[in-house]
Structure 1
């Protein structure tokens, strides 16, 4: 139960056209956290291959396992927040853990080399990523769900709020990618450590901002504090004692999956089954609640196809930029990792335009429902890879591709992301029953976990011209060239977009059972 605090600012009225100040506090907190996460992610695969001396296929799968766990642990963090800690305690704990992880990676990168001769460095690599995985589990689902908590259930500003929040994510990504690419991706493996150090400092800054403003700004329009520890919760100290156990489990899973046998894929399946049983066995849910939950599960399935292709950016697309693309601009060769900035740039520039577009369409009564917006996002994803197919078709050995094609890919992918990701976050918040709000937000991230694991596997199929191994095969299709590799994503994303378009009308009817108005984004 939440209590009204005398320390809150004067509450904003529900019908106000401006957004609550708490949104901008969460914006700033998330911006610095995304600096930390995306800044590190921009150089991670290059660090693994150039400093830790992993081959591309192993580094891709290792990266996929790590990012998959990054999105899997929100299931744990969401559950603990709902039952024991509340959003605020979870966010602060997660922020501290992630900062610790970045500083651990700094020490790992300070003594780099292959595992055979630099065992301690590789152990620190696993430990640092373990802290990141566990910390993100507490941080990510809780800060996302808090955005919706600042508004009433029927407030039409939610889509716009999540779009603004999404701008914070991408602004942080842009700043983080720029700094870490310039500091770390210099051609000297020893410089990667400075990228990790910058990310650790950014994480501490974001956590401090949240701690400073949480009591003053995070409340409902009526002035009720949001995200506090549940009144009936118990076992808070027990959860703290459980953290080392959870860390050990995450490290064990990451090590087994990367070095021994697939572990994460079965874990994802078990997590999905557990969530389904937990939610649908609750007899207090109404028929409308059940239909809303079903919509969340269905659109989350299609999200897997989007992110599995989208998340090639820090893996196979970075390999492509590093080896197959002409990166010279005005006589200066750009770092391969800095091209990931294009996504953040296009999202920050495009988010206000998309918000205005949804608003204009809403006023005319022609705004598409959320499932249709998400299908458009998948179609734009396929279009981006189609451009890449044109760029590499009949590519001769030794010839490098113009950076225009990668720029065009990131443009289409970024607009597609704006059609899918903030809309999906808003949809989950609107359709989720209150008692399962954080857990169902974690379901959204479970789809991201599956997608990132699949993305790592797909990146391992990247055709390396220097490799003497047999050409990779996917479902009977032999990938002999970059054209074949990119064509796989064109086909998969196009098929997913078409199916989602076809079933969108039925999904919209199921959403209407929740008696929520059609989403309207306001600038």
Structure 2
């Protein structure tokens, strides 16, 4: 298997994408293993994500009465905080993941290593006990960060540059794999983990990632030779300097937490609050560093200023959207009826609603933009962002209704969650593809490959803001006031983007 990562270009040319006229749905054959690898990776990730908060609470005072025990018996607030930091770190680590692909291993080798780390993480989660759980969680976050940027890069390598007419269609098929894995995961991993055994569910997630790794290794001969190339190799002296700095910071952290733990002062907040602060500070620092780079042209500087508007709006959007795995998950478990047409279902199945809506609605939204474009009426990117922000705010205004009336004895109907996820999904489809497109168009030439990681940092900032609201602000994320406050913040952000859209569009230059 190791040799498949280091084949020479001449040998790989014999089996280059699309060799022999064969295709995968009209695309290079290499898209098939990448599609399936990403599908199984998302299957493992979203399956574990569906179980995470419920497992943390299981057996504790905030768990649903009569539910399966054997979890970590944590309070709901602590579980939400851990979830927020974990989800934030997955996206934060996408930036160093891209760096490893660009400077150390190359995309192909990085993905193989990442998949192995993810699988090891899920196997750790399958072992009962708090130490193995948090080690597993860290490994899954690290592996997901390494994989996220690099597998998308390899999809791009399959095509003849940005102008290849098949390129957008290839990424669309790839995105279907993402949602297919995300949609199936709660139905399998979630249901088995919640109803049979938490650790069996985590073990199935490991099997899913193992299948993805095997498919990837077997399919490397179909990938572009470019995917095994390290674009900008790290010189030996620079590698040594970075290693020494990393060891220094690791040593400082080890000493600090050794003192805190040794004196008996360590609590969960000593872990979640610093990580959440980093999750907000690092995105801000990265944007400031790019903005202040004197090597950028005046036009690039202006576009970065315009991009910051979209970044902040996206962070507010993801702050609400990402609570599907925490606030909405707990609501589904404890205050939503689990009986549909006489069938009792595990609450984790509600986590499948969003990807199902994506696959159902995405073609309609794509058709709508094309239809409007032909008539010269397609909304600008700023308007699309405003619509997305209004919709995410509206979803929490709607959420406040069942949250204020439902109890563990008088539960809300499942259609409330179906409706909330539908509203959020339409908002997601107005914001996420547009944000990805804007990121590639507005990126300075110097930071062209890094800006995709910057876009993911908006998700990190949103998740970590939620954790800080709980851990530092002491806010109850289930409180009606907090839910309405977040909804209001989203609508106000939409209003700000709408009101200043002319100014923002002027900053965007020739980008629309």
On whether the aligned pair clears a TM of 0.5, the verdict is yes
Equivalent-residue separation in structure 1 for 2:40 and 2:249 (angstroms): 23
- C-alpha offsets along residues 397-427 of structure 1, whole Å, 9 cap, x if unaligned? 8321111111100111111111112222232
Could you say if the C-alpha distance between residues 23 and 264 of structure 1 is closer, same or farther in structure 2, counting changes exceeding 3 Å?
Answer: same
Matched residue, 2:180 = 171
In the alignment, structure 1 residue 304 sits paired with structure 2 residue 315? yes
In the alignment, structure 1 residue 42 sits paired with structure 2 residue 50? yes
Equivalent-residue separation in structure 2 for 1:351 and 1:106 (angstroms): 35
In the alignment, structure 1 residue 6 sits paired with structure 2 residue 13? yes
The answer to whether the Cα contact below 8 Å between 2:108 and 2:154 also exists between their aligned partners in 1 is: no
CA RMSD across the alignment: 3.8
Number of aligned pairs? 477
Equivalent-residue separation in structure 2 for 1:35 and 1:239 (angstroms): 38
Matched residue, 2:65 = none
Could you say if the C-alpha distance between residues 294 and 71 of structure 1 is closer, same or farther in structure 2, counting changes exceeding 3 Å?
Answer: same
Q: How does 1:131-146 map to 2 (within 5 A)?
A: 131-146=139-154
Query: Which SS does the other structure have where 2:323 is aligned?
Result: coil
Could you say if the C-alpha distance between residues 67 and 496 of structure 1 is closer, same or farther in structure 2, counting changes exceeding 3 Å?
Answer: same
The answer to whether the Cα contact below 8 Å between 1:89 and 1:228 also exists between their aligned partners in 2 is: no
Equivalent-residue separation in structure 2 for 1:289 and 1:11 (angstroms): 40
Equivalent-residue separation in structure 2 for 1:195 and 1:399 (angstroms): 30
The answer to whether the Cα contact below 8 Å between 2:327 and 2:477 also exists between their aligned partners in 1 is: no
Query: Which SS does the other structure have where 2:296 is aligned?
Result: coil
Matched residue, 2:63 = none
Deviation at 1:439, TM superposition (A): 2.1
Matched residue, 1:211 = 217
- Point out where structure 2 has 5 or more consecutive residues left out of the alignment: 1-7, 59-70
In the alignment, structure 1 residue 92 sits paired with structure 2 residue 112? yes
Equivalent-residue separation in structure 1 for 2:252 and 2:138 (angstroms): 6
Query: Which SS does the other structure have where 1:313 is aligned?
Result: helix
Matched residue, 2:268 = 258
Equivalent-residue separation in structure 1 for 2:295 and 2:26 (angstroms): 35
Matched residue, 2:99 = 79
Equivalent-residue separation in structure 1 for 2:471 and 2:344 (angstroms): 26
- Point out where structure 1 has 5 or more consecutive residues left out of the alignment: 112-120, 220-224, 462-471, 519-523
Query: Which SS does the other structure have where 1:260 is aligned?
Result: helix
The answer to whether the Cα contact below 8 Å between 1:311 and 1:455 also exists between their aligned partners in 2 is: no
- C-alpha offsets along residues 451-500 of structure 1, whole Å, 9 cap, x if unaligned? 11223455779xxxxxxxxxx965xxxx7975434322321221122222
The structure whose RCO (Cα within 8 Å, separation 6+) is larger is 1
Deviation at 1:438, TM superposition (A): 3.7
Equivalent-residue separation in structure 1 for 2:496 and 2:167 (angstroms): 27
The answer to whether the Cα contact below 8 Å between 2:372 and 2:378 also exists between their aligned partners in 1 is: yes
Could you say if the C-alpha distance between residues 258 and 68 of structure 1 is closer, same or farther in structure 2, counting changes exceeding 3 Å?
Answer: farther
Equivalent-residue separation in structure 2 for 1:385 and 1:283 (angstroms): 42
Equivalent-residue separation in structure 2 for 1:246 and 1:345 (angstroms): 46
Which residue, out of 484, 494, 504, partners 1:507?
Answer: 504
Deviation at 1:333, TM superposition (A): 2.0
Matched residue, 2:161 = 152
Matched residue, 1:228 = 229
Equivalent-residue separation in structure 1 for 2:41 and 2:133 (angstroms): 20
